[in-house]
Structure 1
Amino acid sequence: MATNFESLVVWQKSHELTLKIYEITKDFPREEIFGITSQIRRAAYSIPANIVEGRKKSTTAHKLSFLSHSIGSLEEVKYFLLLSKDLAYITQTIYDEIFPLTEEVGRLLSGYEKFTKNDNFGSRT
């Protein structure tokens, strides 16, 4: 049985991105375990985690704050993917396969942010 947040496409895609980040970073150099590997993973799981937490906040302002954190974390993921490519931790092919998903998550977050701003059912503050 799916929980409430699991029905959100923005959560589904950001969770998919997180799983892909974990997959591609499992073979990063061991010396990066506390560096890029840790940073990109934390940024990745921060995206869906902030969506989940923000959903249950009582005011629109609080909800938007958590969405803002998700958007910021997505930008971090994009940078760490570029850095990983430039350091040859991932190939250009892998980068080209995963980057469109980051763009899709960005569009979905933007749409969810607009929806949240216009939500007539939540508290406005």
Structure 2
Amino acid sequence: MKHNFKNLKVWQKAMDLTDLTYSYCGELPSTERYNLIDQINRCSCSIPSNIAEGSGKRTNIHTAEFLSTSLTSSFELETQLLICKRRQYGNIEKLESCLSLLEEVQKMIFAFREHVVNKPVNPI
């Protein structure tokens, strides 16, 4: 194993984000159950899942690809949360907390991906 993903701060923060978005979704209109709610939950789970999956990859390039997938899932989540904001769904304070934590996670993923990509390869 390249990294113990559970020790990565970025994974831990992404898990916090997942918990927060699930909590936020609990207050959304039931008419969004099979639309925004499901999509938000899938995206929020995808972020830490791809960080974890990437941590077990053999090369830095493969790890970076999974971090990129995690980052793109975060952009998708951001869009869905912004749709909720425009439609004035749910608790606005909880929504703002989700967006704030999401921004922090995005910055962490980006920085970690840059670190992984620029890390020198050790010869075997």
TM-score (norm 1): 0.88
Task: Specify the alignment match of 1:115 in structure 2.
Answer: 115
Kindly indicate whether the alpha-carbon contact (under 8 Å) linking 1:54 and 1:66 is maintained by their aligned counterparts in 2: yes
TM-score (norm 2): 0.88
Question: In the TM superposition, what are the counterparts of 1:1-125 in structure 2 within 5 Å?
Answer: 4-120=4-120
Of 70-79 and 93-102, more deviation after overlay is shown by 93-102
Of 85-94 and 40-49, more deviation after overlay is shown by 85-94
Kindly indicate whether the alpha-carbon contact (under 8 Å) linking 2:21 and 2:41 is maintained by their aligned counterparts in 1: yes
Report runs of 4+ in structure 1 exceeding 4 Å deviation: none
Kindly indicate whether the alpha-carbon contact (under 8 Å) linking 2:24 and 2:95 is maintained by their aligned counterparts in 1: no
Give, in angstroms, the shift of residue 122 of structure 1.
Answer: 6.4
Relative to structure 1, the CA distance from residue 70 to residue 44 in structure 2 (aligned partners, 3 Å threshold; closer, same or farther) is: same
- Segments of structure 2 that go 5 or more residues without pairing to the other structure are none
Give the Cα separation in 1 of the matches to 2:121 and 2:46: 26
Aligned partner of residue 37 in structure 1, secondary structure: helix
> Equivalent pairs: percent with the same residue?
33
Give the Cα separation in 1 of the matches to 2:92 and 2:22: 17
Of 30-39 and 94-103, more deviation after overlay is shown by 94-103
- Segments of structure 1 that go 5 or more residues without pairing to the other structure are none
Relative to structure 1, the CA distance from residue 122 to residue 10 in structure 2 (aligned partners, 3 Å threshold; closer, same or farther) is: farther
Which amino acid counterpart does residue 100 of structure 1 have in structure 2? S
Kindly indicate whether the alpha-carbon contact (under 8 Å) linking 1:59 and 1:122 is maintained by their aligned counterparts in 2: no
